[in-house]
Structure 1
């Protein structure tokens, strides 16, 4: 922020580690899924560039999160048990899972992919039972309209990312690990569906029966669609893996029916979210500024392109290619705009920081 003379204002604090968003691994999620979509669209060079960029982003964010936990433990763990910010930590699980998928699909490096899969599993267990246990036992709790938003569905995305990586890992594993990994993929796919039904009912109730202001419509509401998109991707991979596991073959009608149900639900959300976005930024004139949470809007667009392509392949439809390409380009443009906003924001912080009084 600057004064009227254009001199940086030294009284306004510069965001630092203490203020870092718990949901910043959404950057890894968004970059990773656009990279995977580019590879599936026959653009290996773009996919490779984004893949190597994502490795660097993941490493930097890991260091920053660890530094924040060490230097600001009260803020770090306080955010984890807060109803509005706690679910943002699930981006670490999903981001790790997406990067694991990149290693397996783009680099055919199943050792690195398997290692990241294990990290994602550990993070999932730790965060899921820490966050939801804390929400359950804490004495002071917000009301529904103040305590829930679309970011809660990141728990679904994190769970389904385990299903996706487990299914990918199973295709290049020998027996009995192939059967076990497919079973883990099936179980987490079902857990993700369970969580979506629970959480979406509460979110929709909050939509319809509580006052809704433009500020309440944060970018993570796009996860309403993104959670269904990654569920579709996981279901499509399970269908493709059915020949590897007899129990998946016996469940094929169920798998196909629910996978199409997930895709149709995600598709239903797109016009609704667009209309709400127009209401927020055009009718209500809510300012459009960079926020780390916007990565939570880029990710669903890329995931929708990817899941539609895989669904088209798994179900042998053959008529969804045009939709896939359209959403890939939309996701790529959204990623570029958001990435430029992030760089501008970082440059602004660096310009202001030297003016801060010790």
Structure 2
């Protein structure tokens, strides 16, 4: 098998009953819950939150069981970017629980994510290949997830947490540049879903910027710079959205793959970022755009959820089985 194909399959977690990339299901459903709450659909939002929480608990149990039962396999899994979905998913849930006013739960999730993040990030950074699929951008997403949660909790904890959030925000941008240099651009037309994180990482960066602006800690030139950076990140995210959507039309990939959760998350994150940036900067048309993009996210979330449930019920042993149960042609054996 060529090195490139080996990297793609390893990052996808093929062969694992609950591959780490399935953590993107928690991220996607959690951010959808946030978006639904911001647009006034609170009841549906809470239902999505509890679904995401249940998935998070199952993934946490599976990851812990693997650590205790097969340390070597756990280590082989933990040094790939998809493992960082554990951190990102935890921060997304923390943000949603804070919106519910459950600050102690949000703080607990922040502490947990902050403890796990450096350990896993260092392991991942030590094993990054020169050329990688879209999952490589999770080094940015996990870092910016912490930045967002810190910024959201800053009004409760104090300005010091907003400054920590700013440091994480800047570090996340550094990791984005590094990931972009490693990203295999062919994934735009060949990727199985995680290539969308190239845009999603910018979306969560823009969201972090908007939350930093909303914290009210910065004023004058610092606030202007932060506002400009946030709007630039939003524009770049929307540009990636258009490019990635074009790639989907150029080469449709309709079969279900667990990595499609890593498509739903960027879609939802772009919607939430647009809503949040509109509120923080006063650019009104972004609010309208965010609402439209949110319903696009819902439309993609539904078949992805069906495919996920279908695969878990035992109709397919392949994490890349189709939504409708029709399996893709088998790959040639080595």
**Where on the TM-score scale, by shorter chain, does this alignment land: which range?**
0.7 to 0.9
**Which of these residues, 103, 115, 124, is aligned with residue 110 of structure 1?**
103
Query: In 2, distance between residues paired with 1:252 and 1:24?
Result: 37
Residues 129-208 of structure 1 correspond to what in structure 2 (within 5 A)?
A: 129-135=122-128, 144=130, 147-173=131-157, 178-203=158-183, 206-207=184-185
Residues 1-358 of structure 1 correspond to what in structure 2 (within 5 A)?
A: 18-81=16-79, 86-105=80-99, 107-135=100-128, 144=130, 147-173=131-157, 178-203=158-183, 206-207=184-185, 212=186, 216-242=190-216, 245=217, 247=218, 250-281=221-252, 288-349=254-315
After TM superposition, give the deviation of residue 298 of structure 1 in Å.
0.2
Judge conservation of contact 1:17–1:68 (CA < 8 Å) in 2: no
Query: In 1, distance between residues paired with 2:187 and 2:284?
Result: 42
- Structure 2 equivalent of residue 12 of structure 1: none
| Change beyond 3 A, Cα 1:276–1:119 | same
Aligned length, in residue pairs: 306
| Change beyond 3 A, Cα 1:328–1:77 | same
Judge conservation of contact 2:82–2:138 (CA < 8 Å) in 1: yes
| Change beyond 3 A, Cα 1:249–1:67 | farther
Structure 2: segments with no counterpart, 5+ residues: 1-12, 319-334
Normalised to the residue count of structure 1, the TM-score between the two structures is 0.80
Structure 1: segments with no counterpart, 5+ residues: 1-14, 136-141, 353-358
| Change beyond 3 A, Cα 1:214–1:44 | closer
Judge conservation of contact 2:189–2:247 (CA < 8 Å) in 1: no
CA offsets, 1:276-317, max 9 Å, x none?
A: 112222xxxx5x332221111000111111110111111112
After TM superposition, give the deviation of residue 120 of structure 1 in Å.
0.7
| Change beyond 3 A, Cα 1:321–1:155 | same
Judge conservation of contact 1:235–1:256 (CA < 8 Å) in 2: yes
After TM superposition, give the deviation of residue 240 of structure 1 in Å.
1.0
Judge conservation of contact 2:91–2:110 (CA < 8 Å) in 1: yes
Judge conservation of contact 1:290–1:345 (CA < 8 Å) in 2: no
CA offsets, 1:81-117, max 9 Å, x none?
A: 3xxxx00011000000001111101x21110100000
Structure having the higher Rg: 1
| Change beyond 3 A, Cα 1:202–1:179 | same
Query: In 2, distance between residues paired with 1:70 and 1:349?
Result: 29
After TM superposition, give the deviation of residue 149 of structure 1 in Å.
1.4
Alignment RMSD: 2.2
Q: Determine helix, strand or coil for the equivalent of 1:108.
A: coil
Query: In 1, distance between residues paired with 2:208 and 2:188?
Result: 33
